Amino acid sequence: WAEARATAERAPRQRGGHRGGHLTPVSVPLSSALGLTLAAPLIALTDLPSFDTSAMDGWAVSGPGPWDVREEGVLAGHTAHAPLTDGEAVRIATGARIPPDTTAVLRSEHGRTDDSGRLHATAATRAPHTVSHGQDIRPRGQECRNGDQLLPVGTLVTPPVLGMAAAAGYDTLTVVPRPRAAVFVLGDELLGEGLPHDGLIRDALGPLLPPWLRALGADVVDVRRVGDDEDALHQALTACEADIVLTTGGTAAGPVDHVHPTLRRLGAELLVDGVAVRPGHPMLLARIAEKRYLVGLPGNPLAAVSGLVTLAEPLLRTLAARPAPEGYTLPLRDAVQGHPHDTRLVPVALRGDRALPLLYNGPAMLRGIAAADALAVVPPGGAKPGYEAELLDLPWASGGIGVCFT
């Protein structure tokens, strides 16, 4: 199982493209960059702040007090004002440009004007009529200088990164785009609506997979039903231009399992053909063209989820140049029965400092994963209570920036 995940993660690095295996960078407006990864360092295009500014509402003062106060104040966004003379002050707003020859900014709560309109410093921590040179002034270049590297390549674009970029003068960012994903739901037995009847069952993966893929950072460009017909599957794959195609079902060797024959017709390179994991061992990964991949998921819902986190997630992460999540473990509250030879992925709920294995974890069941916060990696042979299990967070439980269900 671990080898299969590693194979999926490194697959895009083995054939052309960028050394890191990610998609070709693009330039996008700030409004479209959230959740993407920087493909170029964020370099300051100006000093920040770009001029001396007031850090507080109050008065800009020159020399020791008391001070004569100018009538016209200084507001943020206005042009430069005349220099202050010694013993002079002017009302100033937070963020406003400091007039030349200003000694300091006296906060509103630290000053008062007398009956003749002269300004006095009243802060108890200072001697009368004095201010510290430069107090409450943000000097030009305090945060950065023009040309400084603010953030390196590989940084995930979060809301604060967008704010930093805007402050530094950017209108666009060079980023790695979202991989384009297509979902082909295979099977003649699937219903799109209504109750199961007459041997037909509801399609659970059509509603489940697209939002999960979006949460992993993919741009889902196509979701379609494909019948149990090899020619139909071949035609759909030939016409599809997505970076990654996910199929559901048809990965075993039954009479209507057409994925393997279709991959042979396409001349695809089979990278993973079965994984020692339960549920989901018939999953597969293939390179169907240069820089294009197919992840074959089993048809049972929880088995498909297993294939999604085993093969699709690391593949998408490399294509999008997204950082790998930090691994962690928690002790299992209860024992988990294991497979004699294969790894098991078991839905768990996080309860304090322990992971509670959930029932209804069979390959065809979704009741357990619907209540889960994570999947626990259970080694062959099972695990006893207290076993420190590796956990794979589910995207909506970890609350990452890439979570988007719309």
Residue 235's φ and ψ, nearest 5 degrees, are -65, -40
**Residue from 155, 119, 167 nearest 36 by CA:** 155
Give dist(CA 158, CA 91) in Å, integer: 37
Residue 234 belongs to what H/E stretch? helix 230-239
pLDDT of residue 15: 66
Q: What is the mean pLDDT of residues 323-339?
A: 93
DSSP secondary-structure letter at 337? -
| Residue 398, pLDDT above cutoff 80 | no
Look over the chain and give the mean of its residue pLDDT values, rounded to a whole number.
Answer: 90
Give dist(CA 201, CA 248) in Å, integer: 14
The sheet carrying 111-113 orders its strands as 104-107, 58-61, 88-92, 67-69, 118-121, 111-113
Q: pLDDT tens-digit profile of 17-52? A: 566 799 999 999 999 999 999 999 999 999 999 999
With contact defined as beta carbons under 8 Å apart, do 332 and 312 qualify? Answer: no
DSSP secondary-structure letter at 197? B
Q: What is the mean pLDDT of residues 3-24?
A: 85
Give dist(CA 128, CA 119) in Å, integer: 11
Q: Which two tokens stand for residue 44?
A: 């300051």
Q: pLDDT tens-digit profile of 366-385? A: 999 999 999 999 999 999 99
pLDDT of residue 394: 92
Residue 5 belongs to what H/E stretch? helix 2-10
Q: Which residue has the higher pLDDT, 156 or 253?
A: 156
pLDDT of residue 405: 40
Give dist(CA 187, CA 182) in Å, integer: 16
Give CA separation, 216 vs 124, 238, 299, 320, 396, in Å.
55, 25, 20, 10, 10
The answer to whether the bond into 340 is cis (omega within 30° of 0) is no
Q: pLDDT tens-digit profile of 104-139? A: 999 998 999 998 889 999 865 555 557 889 999 999
Please state, as a whole number, how many other Cβ atoms lie within 10 Å of the Cβ of residue 352.
8
With contact defined as beta carbons under 8 Å apart, do 404 and 215 qualify? Answer: yes
The answer to whether the bond into 159 is cis (omega within 30° of 0) is no
